[in-house]
Structure formats: C-alpha cells, structure tokens
Structure 1
Amino acid sequence: MDWMEKELEKLERASLERRLHVSAPMADNPGFTLSDGRKLLNLSSNDYLGLSQHSAIIESMRESLLAEGAAGSGASRLVTGNRASYGQLEEALAQWQNSEKALVFANGYMANTGVISALVGRGDVVFNDQFNHASIVDGIILSRAEHARYRHNDMEHLRALLHKHRDKRRKLIVTDAVFSMDGDQARLHELVALKQEYDAMLMVDEAHSGGIYGVHGEGLCHTLGIEHEVDIHMGTFSKAFGLYGAYVSGSSLLIRWLLNKTRPLIYSTALPSSIVTGIAKALELVQTEHWRREQLLGSSRYFRSSLVKAGFKVSEGDSAIVPLIIGDNDTALRFSKALESEGISAVAIRPPTVPDGTARIRFSLSTAHTSKELTDAVSRICSVGLRLGVLGSCNQS
C-alpha cells in the first residue's frame, strides 16, 4: 500500500491534504468553539439558528432517552427500529411543508444518494447544477442514469440539455436551493418553468435554506410560492435545526415509492428515538422563534456588505454562507491559520469541494453571534488580508 504515501505527498505539495482538529462547543459562549484547546469565534459552523445547544431540545432528548431506556434503535425502520416518534415527526413535517407525506432519513447524504437512485436508473437522465452538493453527484453516479451537468445557474445551458435528452424515459432536475459553497440561490422559478415544459421531475435540496427562509422556516421554495411545483423536497436537520438527520416531503405516492426503493433507508439502522424527539422539539422552535431568522439574515447582510466594502471578493447573496474568494490553495490555508491566531475559526475550502483556482474562506454565520463579535471579526479579517497581501488597502469607513 505504499502508493498511498506517494499520493498523499502529492496532496500535501498542492496544499490539498485534509487533517482533523478537535473542537468542542462552549456552553457559556455559544458563538465560540474550543479548537485544539483554544477559544475561537466560530465562523465555520452550520448551526445557523443557534439551536444545537438549546436547553429545551437537550431536555427533550434526555427525557426520551430515559423513557425508552435504550441508546440505539437496534434495527432499520423496516425491521424493528421504527418508533412511534418517527410517525409523529413525519406528520408534523408534512404539515409544516404543506405536503401529503414526509419521510425521515439518517442524514442528508443518505437522503440524496438514496432518493436519486430510487427515482432514476439506466436509460434515464439527471440534470445537475455544477455547484450542487457532492451527495447529489454521488446519487447520480449510483443511479447509473446519464449525468447532464449544466453550468451554474445557466438556464439556457439547461434548456439545451433538456432539449437534447427530451426523449429519455425519465428526466430529473436536481438543485440546491442555496448553494453550500457560494451562498447564492438557485433560479427556482425558471427551473419550475423548464420542468413543466420538458415534463421532468424537479428535486430541490433545502439543506442550507430550510429553517431560514419562509414565514415559519419552511424554506426558499415556500418563500417563492412554488412549493407545490416541486416534486421532491429534501431538507436536513444538521444545520438550522442544530441536530442530525434529514427528511423528504412530497406526495403520498412518492413516499410510498421511496419506502420501498431507497436502499440507504432500507438497509441502515434507524436514528435513535432520542434524536427524533430532539428534532421534533427543534421543529417547534424553528416555527415559533421567528427572531432567530430575522437576526441571522440581518447579520448576514451586515457581514457580507462589510467585507465587500473593505475590498474583499465575496460572492453575492443574502444567506448565512459568506465565501471570501482567495484563489490560491496555499494562500487560503495561510489565511485560515492567520485568522486562528486572531481568535477566529474559519476553515479554508479547497478543490475538489470548489473549482480549481477558487479556494476560499467560507464564513458561516449564526444567530449565536452578536453584532459586536461580527464587527470585531471584520476588523481582524481586514488585518489578516492586509498582512497576507490579499487586500491592497482596507476600507472600513
């Protein structure tokens, strides 16, 4: 197995090798993390609404764990792992999404890979935005359907591909609602129109928009009023909900099909009931504590505009994902390390997660951050930018 060492050396030379770092939450400072023993402002977490440390969620999970008297579910849902809490949560999710049915999965990766491979196969085609999450790409590969990749948010390119493959047996368009590495939005209205024109299915991944957009956090599709035009609606509980797991909502027919054909669901042990109970409590909070969404979106607008005003290259959008584009892999790593020395945890994102030449610092904001913490962070980010030559000057006026 010596070949591994040689390949890893190549990754290291290209500043692409990954390593693990130990992190821990701070109960008294939810916007911070302990990283390798150091207290850092946490601008890398997906805990958008600050719910991962919510006392009501933790208490509901504790009560469920003690009441059931079992740490794990012991089997897949189709064997003996399907507790009553699953049905209760799925009913609440369907009502929240204004759909007929919902189905809970262990995580978003399993949901995407499983659903796509259950819907299409050989002789079919999937139209995939080039900036979609890796789990979508892997789902297409596993499905053995043809992979038609369209340029990011380029509806004319998608139209041309749809026309080219118009005679395929099944056609599936898949998109993130908010793209995980750029923080911008999919052109959902146009995707709905193309789906209707070419008689395709449309699947939308709301991993980074669920809980944040919508009157009650239902997601971007609801904000735009197109939720009933989306055939497969997917979301996760590992981001705005602060826990773990995922769901798919849609028609009763869809959920019945997925229950019979989605291999990651059929052949995986079910989530423990304590996790499912915690998700149900988080769903209540997402729908009722509107101030969390309002504060997050306000913080995101301020933080993004402050970096742009300072002279940084930042992707457009209004989401909690604020990518600062660096370009060079080594510079991005040095930028991240320098931020750590300034008391900020902000991870460098490099290929293959993002395209070559677009390495970046991906800032991820949370309701747990105060306005003063973000103002101080912008000042320190500017100092690092000047020191590393990423900025020629820093305008913070």
Structure 2
Amino acid sequence: MLEMGGNQVDEAVAHATRALRAVATTAYDWTAHAGGLEWTCLDTAEHVVSDFTAYAAQLTGRAQGAYVPIEATLEEGTDPAGAVFAIEASGGLLAAVVRTAPPDARGYHPYPYGSADARGFAAMGIVELLLHTYDVLRAFDVAYEPPENLCEALLAWQFPHVPPAREGDSHWATLLWATGRGSLPGRARLERWRWHNQIHLPADRVALLEVAPPAAADLAAGGTGGFDWIEGGPYEGTRGAAGRTARAYAAGTHRPEWGMYAVVRTADHRAIGAIGFHGAPDDEGWAELGYDLAPAARGNGYATEALRTLTEWALTLPDVRGVRALVDEGNTASEAVLTRAGYTRAADRGARRAYVARPAFEDEARSANKAGC
C-alpha cells in the first residue's frame, strides 16, 4: 500500500532541505520573490514553518470548527540557512505528532468537509513543503524534483479526484499540474485547485471513514487497508467494493464523495464493515449504495446507523434527487435495515427490490401534491 505518515514527512523534509541548503548561501538573494508567488523566498520558508507547526497543533489540540490560534514565525533577521533549519525542525515536530496521534485523532481543516486525520495533515504538510521548495528554487533557476514514490502517494491520498499520472507523465509533473503549477498534454491548465481530506461522518456508536484509493487497493488485494478489523472482517462484499474504488481511481473516474466508507466502531476503533456508493449520481440525480458488515457485527443496529448517516449526508449534496438501494428477493434482514433507516419501497428494478430515500423537502412536496388531487 502507498503509505502516508510520519516516515513520509521525514523523507520529504530530508529531500527538500537538502535542495534548499544548496541555495542558502550569499550567492542567492532570498529577498527575491519565489517563483509564481507574491512572497519572498524567506516569506515562503516562513509559511512552510507556520504550516508544519499549525498542522501539528490541529492534531494535538483536536481542534474543531476553527484553527488553533497560534502562529509560528521566523525571528527577525533570520538568514536563509536559519530558515532551512526552522523548516527541518518544524517538520520533525509534525512527523512526531503524526506518528503518535491515536487512530481517532482529527483536527479542523476546511477542505473539503471540516476535518483531517493524521494522514491528511501529513500529506498537506508534504504538499506545502515540496511545492514551496519548487517555488523557491524557481527564483534561482534551479530545477527541483522530489522522489516519484512520494508524489504518487500524495496524489492517491490527497488528490483522489485527480486522474493519476498517465503513461509518459511523471507523478511529479502530475502533482504540479494538479496544483496549478504546470501543464500536461491533453489537460487544461488549472487556475484553481483544492486537495481532498478523507471524509469523516460521525454517527452514534459508529463513524464512517472515507476509504482512499491506496487503502481500497490494499483491501482488494487481501490486506487490511490500514484498518484494525474485527474477527471475520473485512467480508467479501467489502473487498469487492474496494476493488471497484481502486479500479475507478486507476481509470481516472473516481469521485471521492461517491466512493466507499469504512464503518468503524467508536468504542474500540475497530472496522466492522463498509458502506458506499456504486458511483456518482446518474443524470437524474439518483445515487445507488450498498453495505456489508462482518458477521460478528450484525444484529446490533450498526448497519442502520451507518445507512442513515450516509444517506442523510448524501441528500444534502447539490443536485442529489435521492438515494436508492437494491435488495435480492428473500433478503429480509437487509430490507429491515433499509426500512429502519427511513427508506421506502419503490418499483422493482428487474429481479431486485428497490428502496429509496429522498430529501425531506421532496417528500413534503409529494405529500402536498397528493393532498391537492
């Protein structure tokens, strides 16, 4: 599995600071503007230090709803060598926090849905470091290219909405394109860009954690996807869904919100199953989902909680008309879960029974229309 964590932060810091130290001499003027930025090279280095420190604090503070109100700055008069040293030191701080954060630790970040876990903060920190190292070195016409394996992991974890590198394109070139810094044949240059932290949807006794493409590929190949599973998990349906997610990412058609989510029991942080969509909503605004729990977790109401939580969230997204689930005839247990989660029976689709959930305003409109007839 492509890893993202403290080791990757250390690798990125070692690579970037080695390149930056080569230009942290009197031969290079760090008061010049970094390539493509309004900041000077020293300002850009300070920004990286501030990001590393802030990301570590977001995790240790378990910040919710806002950033921890602290800011790291370079002391007045810091020279380029000192700035590089500060990047190295603050990068070590972030790496240590990422390594020691408990599995449920999350901190505030606005993109895209208000929080990030340790992997997310590690990836964001590395993206900031590598891109701004590139920006600084551009000011001095010095080429920079970080390790390909690191760029591949960043794309898969933090930019799952971006089609992966194609044959002939490097992962670094793709990352530069994905962040508005480069061009690729056949892809329009980006004027605006955002990364994507894995979505976290809390319920009562469970939480839904979006499964990133590297984790999905590992699950499909027989691994754990980085989750601690209860006995009997992951079950066959989970591995099948993971395979679909991994294939969609490889094909460049993956849309993160409409993928797969692990169902994690909050009491012990163990994964008990998975739930997710079969793809983005169709042209009429209907999304279809499925779910799968390990046998040892069934019969406890976890599936109902997970289904209700994911459905209610999906119905708040733009242009979603409804969510549909299909059930084989005779699967009364699944039908009961759907009914408890608020789904209603709809017309069969082929040989399968259909259950649907709609936004509350649409249900109200339908009731009003019936009353007026």
Same fold (TM over 0.5): no
Q: State TM-score, norm by structure 1.
A: 0.27
Which one has the largest radius of gyration? 2
